[in-house]
Amino acid sequence: MILTPNEGFEGTFADQQEVRDRLAALRSAADLGAEHPGVSFVTLPEAVGKLGGHGVIVRAGLRLIAEKFADYGITDLLSHTRFWVGWKSVVPGDFGGFHRPYQGYRHWQAGAVITMYGDLSGRRPVPAELRALDLIRSYAHDGGGHWSSYRRYVLHPSARVVYRTRYGYNSRDLDGTSYSKADAPTPEESRNTRPARNLGVIMEGGTDLTARQITAQVAEMFGITEAQFSGVDRFAFRDLVGSLDQSDHDAELSALRRRDKAEVLSGTDLYLARMAFYDNLVSAPYAAFLNEVGRDEAMHLHEVLYRAMLTGERGPVSRWLQDHHGRTFAEMFQR
């Protein structure tokens, strides 16, 4: 059976065995491309090969990811053959990349499905450098962070289904109640700068911040800069390396996010709208949280939170909060 590094089961021996058997069945018959009709998928090594000489960029990124997680004591990352990449589509103008809907890590199947950045139908040239950087971000995010995070599964006592009670340092009761409450709705008019308190948002924000830090490091290694790109590609680069700001929302992203709620978007418009949505829901609130709570030690707090997501231990986070703010984990986050 495929098990992730920090995955485990709780309950009676018989219940734990049933959970194992059910997860094993799910993970042996994974079909993660069904939500992307018309898209052809390959494994990560095959996708890297399709980049030709630019594959060296991805391979450098994968080495950095492995080194980063080795520092956390994790040497068993998501198998490259369980990381499926959509690389072409029969749908004209079909656009792929990190923000394409219905993709990412699937914890039930212990695998990930993503798509290459850009026009998958081949009708619009796509900078290979951006495709390479997008693959690095996606693998660091899904094959590193999500794959390695702490999870606990039980057999639900009444529904008799496999039920996840813990993810990272968040938890939920058997009735579905989460440890932390949802954040307030994001503003419509501009970039959301309200600090996050929801643990799901904070963990997703931390997962992607680490992925973007690695991606930015690779971009610098290979001399890839914003000046090389224009239009949607420029927005994509800024997003990949963590440079999106209020000016990007004012220029185009906020308007597209509002349009996405009122009409059916496609192609680059849909991609940019989802980029804006993710930035408003996750990246910007997490950055605001780090600045508010971490202040001059924002990046140290980020590392404390990231390690806790991998181990499931709230203690180090609670001690950091008590030392710096006089508040416990529960006082800061519990609903």
- Beta strand 83-89 pairing with 39-43: antiparallel
In the β-sheet with 151-155, what is the strand arrangement from edge to edge? 7-9, 151-155, 162-167, 170-171
139 close to 214: Cβ distance less than 8 angstroms: no
Half-sphere exposure for 195 (CA within 13 Å, toward CB): 12
Q: Distance of CA 228 to CAs 153, 190, 231, 237, 250, Å? A: 46, 27, 11, 9, 22
Q: If you write DSSP's letter for every residue of 149-186 in order, what string do you get?
A: S-EEEEE-TTT-SEEEEEETTEEB-TTS-BSSPPPPPP
**Residue 262 burial by CB count (10 A; 0-12/13-18/19+): exposed, middle or buried?**
exposed
Q: What pLDDT is stored for residue 335 in this prediction?
A: 80
* Predicted pLDDT of residue 188: 67
Residue located via tokens 């999500």: 146
Question: How far is it, in rounded angstroms, from Cα 95 to Cα 117?
Answer: 7
Backbone angles phi, psi at 141, to 5 degrees: -70, -55
Bin 73: left if φ > 0, else alpha if -120 < ψ < 50, else beta: left
pLDDT for the residue 68? 98
pLDDT mean by block of 10 residues, the chain; 335 residues: 95 96 90 87 97 98 98 97 96 96 95 97 95 98 98 96 97 94 79 92 98 98 97 97 92 83 84 93 96 96 98 96 93 90
Pair of tokens at residue 2 = 């495929």
**Strand 95-96 versus strand 7-9 pairing type:** unpaired
Cβ atoms of 83 and 143 within 8 Å: the answer is yes
Query: Checking phi first, is residue 57 left (phi over 0); if not, alpha (psi -120 to 50) or beta?
Result: alpha
Residue 186, phi then psi, degrees to nearest 5: -75, 150
CB 104 within 8 A of CB 113: yes
Q: What angle do CA 61, 63, 68 make, to 5 degrees?
A: 95
CA distances (Å), 325 to each of 198, 228, 294, 301, in order?
A: 18, 43, 9, 12
